Chain A
Amino acid sequence: MSVSTTVKLSIKSSLGTHEDRAYAREMTDNLEDSALMLRYQDGDIAAFEALYRRHNDSLYRYLLRLSLNHATAEDLFQEAWGKIINARQNYRPTARFSTYLFRVAHNCFIDYIRRNKRHTAEIDIDPDLSPTTDDAPDHLTEKRLFRERLNRSLADLPEEQRDVFLLHEEAGLSIDAIAKVTGVNRETTKSRLRYAMKKLKTTLTESNEGMA
């Protein structure tokens, strides 16, 4: 992507018609994460918006379930994206962008734990957070109950296992990528994920049976 093309596209997206903007958005939507980040390095804001739209919800859920605290998750979410924005000129596409993003977020959480040694996995998440409007009321209640159980099950997991499970589910990272993000070897990562899966399956199934 040449610099002039980026500038033209930026000008086009800021001054063009609705069709032009739609075209520019479609173009950016088709680009890979790392290409979008490189375009953002050159000052293309639309590229960052596309990148943000792809990862904002999954990163938020990761931090929410990792910290089990709504306010902490918001703080860490802002901190992580702030670091991505500030360090944009140093970004090199050596790994998948999601690996890079979740590594930054993971490190933010680790720093937060170090700063707040009293941090405990007490659940402070509103189970009604962002309900989908098209859900029927009975379905909504069922979902709410299940979400509570999920949050409790995750809170019962050791922090390392919860972290690995969430990186697997929310970031869609492979075992090797999770090992890279968390800074432990592959076998440890694999075993943490296995234990997390097993415990969650047991607790969630028991809860389901209890409710039935």
Chain B
Amino acid sequence: MNAPVNQSGSHAEDDVVSAMYRQTADENAPDHLNRSILHRARKAGARSTARFWQIGWLQPIALVAVVGLSLTLILDIDKLVDADNPAATVSQGHNSLDRAAAAALEQIREAESLAQQSPGVSDSTTPPLMVEQIKPGNITRDDNPQCNVTQRATTALWWQCIQSLERRGYAEAATIEYEALFAAYPVFEVP
């Protein structure tokens, strides 16, 4: 039983048996089986190719959808954060409100000058306190004294409104507005 062992680990007598086997066992798979299996493989392969193309189109669309949804979510979160911090909203809307207030004052001044220049219109028709009435502090109602959005648009208008409230005796309202002014503009220096 101690036959010589060859390089592959098998014995020399095994090689003889293998050679005898290979000489004889040379049958091939029948053609009808070959055709049947290759047909089956082609059908299955065609199905997977079709599925591949579907996935190929879906992937970029899905990616774009995910990116779009993520951006929407991020913007919504920003809006929610802004809503929680009104001071930030006021400061963001600062420029537009400032412009609106300036435009309103400009229009009133133009109206006053036109009224003064027009010969057919007497001075008595021109309300002398019109500009003054628009000025901060005079717009708010007495039962709920506070500065409105236009007055809060700039630090200067807001400060004028606070002073106006103090002058009119609404010390408590003036204090609340003063604290709100400093919350919105922490670096504001009292003139």
Give the shortest distance, in Å, between A189 (CB) and chain B (any CB).
12
B38-63 interface with A by 8 A CB criterion: 38, 40-42, 44-46, 48-49, 52, 56
Q: Are B30 and A197 in contact (CB under 8 A)?
A: no
Least distance between B3 CB and chain A CB atoms (Å): 10
Residue of B nearest to A62 (CB): B25
A131 to B23, CA, bound (A): 12
Most buried by B among A42, A43, A49, A74: A43
**What is the size category of the interface that chain B forms with chain A?**
20 to 34
A43 CB to nearest B CB, Å: 3
In the complex, whether B27 has a CB less than 8 A from a CB of chain A is yes
If A44-B45, A78-B33 touch, whether A52 touches B22 (CB-CB below 8 Å) is no
Q: Are B48 and A57 in contact (CB under 8 A)?
A: no
A/B pair count, beta carbons within 8 Å: 102
Separation of A42 and B53 alpha carbons in the complex (Å): 11
Residues in A whose Cβ lies below 8 Å from that of B2: none
With both chains docked as a complex, state the minimum distance between the C-beta of B23 and any C-beta of chain A, in angstroms.
8
A: which residues have CB within 8 A of B?
3, 10, 40-45, 48-49, 52, 56-57, 59-61, 64-65, 74, 77-78, 81-82, 85-86, 88-89, 129-130, 132, 143, 146-147, 150, 169-170, 175, 197-198, 200-201, 204
A-B contact pairs, 15 of them (CB 8 A): A3-B56, A10-B49, A41-B48, A42-B52, A45-B46, A52-B34, A60-B28, A74-B30, A85-B37, A130-B27, A150-B21, A169-B22, A169-B25, A197-B13, A198-B13
